[in-house]
Amino acid sequence: MPDADTITRNAKSNLAFTLMDLPEERRQNMARLYAFCRIVDDIVDEPGMDSDERHRALNRWSDIITCQVTPQDGIESEVQKLITDLQLEIDPLQELLAGCRSDIAHKQPATRAELLQYAYKVAACVGITSAAVMGASPDARNYAIALGYALQLVNILRDIAEDWRKHGRIYLPADDMELFGVKAEDIYNQKYSYRMRQLLAYEAALAEKFFCEAEEYYQELSVEDRNCLIPAQAMSLIYHTILEKMRDDEYRVFERRYSVNNFKKLWFLLRARIGSIEFPGIADWGFLYNEKKQS
């Protein structure tokens, strides 16, 4: 089995890029956590397995993180050692597996509450564990959850076309689509319209609200915790920039994939180190406040 460094290096993800800021031991530990997340995501998404095989593969990972089986050399052994050495919470990792498992037989969320329940499992729980691995105290939990929601919502907006084309999945809530008169066929046919643009702007506002929440939680943390979370803050800058690009381009997600180049990523990593992120105050998003996150 490949090791964590090989998986992380080959993935070339935004998170892997920001890990260079961490001390060596924490960087290695985050590489192990990232590799675990990458593998369980691929179990669900990559071709070549039927549903039963995917469930069995996730079951094995559940047994590995709970130390119910002897791991193979490589990433299995590294992940189990990471969990035991750092005494990580098991529940968030099990929630992540449950979220991945739900994508094997995907069902479109009916409401925003259902969307956020899914996002809590596949993103906020990753944030909770990442904060612990980066060395932050339990005080960072609310920050990690809010940022997890924000990043996942940006991913959903950016990847609408790919999620449908590759996997037949729609993550936008059915209630919201009905509110703006957008149908599943519009996504299938990649139909860009005023209604689609308004729907995506509505979902983007929810993502913006969680970015605001995360920044407010971040400012309440100790200096020690904020220093531990510099990679997470860099991720916030990267993904908020992607959100801004989509907004400025009127959400033409069917025509292009929005991203940030490596030069800007380096700049954002520096900005995260030398200062905080400036977002509008959460009061400016009061019209969405009744959609408070549910976990």
CA atoms within 13 A on the CB side of 64: 22
Reduce the secondary structure of 4-41 to three states and give it as a string. HHHHHHHHCCHHHHHHHHCCHHHHHHHHHHHHHHHHHH
pLDDT at 290: 46
The token pair that represents 172 in the structure block: 């936008």
Q: What is the DSSP string of 259-282?
A: ---HHHHHHHHHHHHHS------G
Inter-residue contact 56 to 156 (CB < 8 Å): no
pLDDT at 266: 87
The rounded distance, in Å, linking the Cα atoms of 127 and 120 is 9
The token pair that represents 91 in the structure block: 């529940």
CA atoms within 13 A on the CB side of 204: 24
Treating both helix axes as pointing N-terminal to C-terminal, what angle do 24-45 and 125-133 enclose, rounded to 10 degrees? 160
At 15-70, the pLDDT tens digits run 666 777 788 999 999 999 999 999 999 999 998 999 999 999 999 999 999 999 99
pLDDT at 12: 57
pLDDT at 230: 93
pLDDT at 26: 93
Positions of the chain with pLDDT under 50: 276-278, 282, 287, 289-295
- pTM of whole model > 0.95? no
pLDDT at 227: 92
pLDDT at 160: 96
State the chain's maximal CA–CA distance in angstroms.
55
Q: What is the DSSP string of 98-141?
A: HHHHHTTT----SSHHHHHHHHIIIIIHHHHHHHHHTT--GGGH
The conformation of residue 89, written as its DSSP 8-state character, comes to -
Inter-residue contact 246 to 159 (CB < 8 Å): no
Give the C-alpha distances (Å, rounded to integers) separating 110 from 13, 44, 166, 178: 30, 21, 21, 10
Give the C-alpha distances (Å, rounded to integers) separating 125 from 33, 92, 100, 211: 12, 5, 12, 16
CA atoms within 13 A on the CB side of 233: 29
pLDDT at 294: 45
In the chain, list all ranges with CATH 1.10.600.10.
106-295
pLDDT at 289: 45
The rounded distance, in Å, linking the Cα atoms of 34 and 15 is 8
CATH 1.10.600.10 holds for 106-295: yes
